[in-house]
Amino acid sequence: MPAPTRVVVDVMLKPEILDPQGQAIANALPTLGFSSIASVRQGKRFEVELAGEATEEALDEVRRAAATLLANPVIEDYDVRVQVLP
């Protein structure tokens, strides 16, 4: 049996949607001395373990899961990629 494959789904608010959490983080950074950071956007990362190999069919299923549940495509973008584990 092949080792499980990890697929990473990154979910971010669309650029035009205000991200007050990211702004609050960005505002806190200078007070901690991190002065070179201009702005922050906060998102979510999902680590999905596949039962088998990352076939196109399996990745398609993850993409459907991302569009259906993991992300709300009305306000969020998502990116699905296979993570090569060492």
Partner 1 sequence: MSPRIGVITFPGSLDDRDALRAVKLAGGEPVSLWHADADLKNVDAVILPGGFSYGDYLRAGAIARFAPAMGSIVDAARGGLPVLGICNGFQVLCESHLLPGALRRNGHLHFRCRDQKLRIESTSTRWTQAYQPGEEIVIPVKNGEGAYVADEKTLDALAAEGRIVARYVGANPNGSSRDIAGISNEAGNVVGLMPHPEHATEALTGPSTDGLGFFTSVIRALVPAA
Q: By CB under 8 A, is residue 74 in contact with partner 1?
A: yes
Distances from the Cα of 3 to the Cαs of 17, 46, 50, in angstroms? 39, 19, 9
Q: Does 1 bind partner 1 (CB under 8 A)?
A: no
Are the C-beta atoms of 52 and 66 separated by less than 8 Å? no
- Rounded Cα gap, residues 39 and 25, in angstroms: 9
Looking at residues 42 to 71 of the shown chain, list those that interact with partner 1 (rule: CB under 8 A): 69-70
Does residue number 37 form part of the binding site for partner 1 (CB under 8 A)? no
Q: How far is the CB of 24 from partner 1 (least distance, A)?
A: 6
Could you identify the residue written with the tokens 């993991």? 70
Binding residues (CB under 8 A) for partner 1: these are 13, 16-18, 20-21, 24, 69-70, 72, 74-75
